[in-house]
Structure 1
Amino acid sequence: MKDKLPILFKATVSFAILAFIFTRIDLNQIATRLQYLSLPFIIFALLFYTGCQWLSCLRWQVVLKSAGYHIPIPYLLSSYFAGMFVSIFLPSSVGGDFYRVYRITKVIDAPETAFASVFLERFTGLAAVFALALVGIPPALKIIGSWDIVLLFLVCACVIWGGFLLIASPLLLSWSRPWLKKIRLGGLCDRLDKVQLIVIQYLKHRQSLGLAIALSFVVQLSIIFYQYLLAQQLKIPISYLELLVFTPISIVVTLMPISLGGLGIQEGLWAYLFTRIGLTAEQAVLLSLTFTILGWVLALPGAIILLLDSQGLKNTK
């Protein structure tokens, strides 16, 4: 029961926020605008978003190549879909990341390298998000006119980077080791020692690192453009530049593991931000939920991959 408490808490947070939002918006407006979503556009949107995931896998492949492993893009993409599907049912994307580690480990038989590759793929992606968010803070301040969202972003950024530094920094891990051993996580320290050696070696590959970060910017800008296309289809008058300002900030805030994959937090945050540029709360919530639900639809092939993986696991027993 104790293991389920964090998930129950985060599910409660997500659904409580959504319930609060839905009692204060006009659901009829949302239903009316949903009619603008045609089947051809939905298919196009899913294909476009699949292209964004393909770019993420290309970034992941660059990281793995620097460690001496070449894994075909189709296998990485199938792992990405499986991770996306797993993440739907877990409090954050971390569960999906661990499943990606599991699938790569089956191929290369090197758990620490598999973990490091997923960590570095996620790290380079977040580096681009943080860079865009920092650039977007001045215009966001001008639009919002208050420091509350900026302070929230900075707090979340510090917490997230603290977790990354614990994995990447030998000095911080050395300082944390006695405390981790007290809570019986000494074995984790030993694994992190090996992961850090791989991470440090990767950071020496300047060309691979630069390519991965460049791909991360392309991925993030493409995803924001995807959101812009959704907004245009739903007749929501928001510009690409406005999304470019707000989306990276909201991504950082929703990464905090206090809800189910940011569900509820994102809708509330978008409603707060987008009403500052003349949109209604209904438009902001609709855009956020449409983006989330299409992401869930795109993750459905991951269920087939999980089923095949489970059958393969049973056959090896």
Structure 2
Amino acid sequence: MKLDRITFIKAAISIGLITLVATRIDLHQIQLEIQHLSIAFIIFALIYYTSCQWLSCWRWRIILQSSGHSIPTCSLLSSYFAGMFLNIFLPGALGGDVYRVYRVAKLTQDSEVALVSVFLERFTGLAALSALALIGLPPAFKSIGQWDIILLLATCAGSLVGAVLLITSPKLLMWFEPLLVKFRLGKILARFTKIQLLLRQFSQHRQALVISVGLSFLLQVAIVYYHYLIAYQLRIYISYLDLLVFVPIVAVISLLPISLGGIGVKEGLWIYLLNHIGVSVEKALLLSLSTTVLGWLLSSFGAVFLFLDFYRSSTATAKQPN
């Protein structure tokens, strides 16, 4: 019941934000601008984004190999797509991750390894995004020069770096221990303690760690370029350095559990950020919606993988003796 209430509130916030944005746009202008997205470009964008997801799965496979488990990248990619599909309907990004843990646990017969591998795959991405946000600070001062944007980026970068330090530093976790206990968050403290132990074990595999972090950094750079390609196709002439500033801001703030999948929040952020460099509301909205809808199109393959997984599970259950 409580979950339903939270989901309803998030949906209401998303609808409210989208409605607010809709009152500020010229629908005729939207129709004119969207024609720049040709079928050929959409196909190219889907292939490009698939390659980004393949990089994520390659990173995930390396993490699993360090624990003694070898799973084909194509199998991990199918579970990744299925997770993307689930995230469309579930609040936050946890639904897809839970499914990915479930799939890998079935393949490895080790639920702890599955959980840690998904966490580490996310964690290395967080570390790379932290570095990207920090790299984006100098261009923010030089190129944009708007103090509200600089403050937003600094806050996001600080939050990411703080999260990384909290996850990796036992001393920092001990410093926060009284505060977590005071607010009855002892379970979170115990989970972080266990995660730190697992991280130390993973850090012993130096080659896997270096490759994983390197792939994470390459992936984040590729995602920024993905936004650049879509923006250029929509005739939004924005520099890569500007996007190096904007993408981490949108990525971090959209993670806040205040709407369904960040819908409404992302659109408002892109309009706010791009308005600082003279981009119209219509073009900013189209950039946000284009990246979202392309992600939905790609995740539709996940529905097929989910159906096949459900079918195989049902068939296996039916064949079991009563």
The TM-score, its normalising length taken from structure 2, stands at 0.87
Q: Residues 168 and 196 of structure 1 are in contact (CA less than 8 Å); yes or no, is this contact kept in structure 2? A: yes
Identity %: 51
Q: Which amino acid aligns with 1:123?
A: F
Q: Structure 1: how far apart are the matches of 2:239 and 2:162?
A: 33
> Which residue in the other structure is 1:4 paired with?
4
Equivalent residues in 2 for 1:274-313 (5 A)?
274-313=274-313
> Which residue in the other structure is 1:66 paired with?
66
For residue 85 of structure 1, report the CA deviation from its aligned partner: 0.4
Deviations 1:155-179 (A, max 9, x none): 5556666666666565638937984
In structure 2, the CA distance between the partners of 1:163 and 1:127, relative to structure 1 (3 Å rule), is: closer
Q: Residues 152 and 253 of structure 1 are in contact (CA less than 8 Å); yes or no, is this contact kept in structure 2? A: no
Q: Residues 59 and 215 of structure 2 are in contact (CA less than 8 Å); yes or no, is this contact kept in structure 1? A: yes
* Structure 1 unaligned spans of 5+: none
For residue 281 of structure 1, report the CA deviation from its aligned partner: 1.6
> Which residue in the other structure is 1:95 paired with?
95
Deviations 1:103-142 (A, max 9, x none): 1001111111111111111111111111111221233244
Equivalent residues in 2 for 1:138-287 (5 A)?
138-155=138-155, 172=173, 175=177, 179=181, 195-287=195-287
In structure 2, the CA distance between the partners of 1:99 and 1:160, relative to structure 1 (3 Å rule), is: farther
In structure 2, the CA distance between the partners of 1:182 and 1:131, relative to structure 1 (3 Å rule), is: closer
Q: Structure 2: how far apart are the matches of 1:170 and 1:90?
A: 33
Of 207-216 and 296-305, more deviation after overlay is shown by 207-216
Q: How many residues align?
A: 315
Q: Structure 2: how far apart are the matches of 1:178 and 1:94?
A: 22
Q: Structure 2: how far apart are the matches of 1:276 and 1:158?
A: 22
For residue 210 of structure 1, report the CA deviation from its aligned partner: 1.2
> Which residue in the other structure is 2:47 paired with?
47
The TM-score, its normalising length taken from structure 1, stands at 0.89
In structure 2, the CA distance between the partners of 1:87 and 1:198, relative to structure 1 (3 Å rule), is: same
For residue 35 of structure 1, report the CA deviation from its aligned partner: 1.1
Deviations 1:230-271 (A, max 9, x none): 122222222222212211222122122222222211111111
Q: Which amino acid aligns with 1:116?
A: V
Q: Structure 2: how far apart are the matches of 1:6 and 1:230?
A: 33
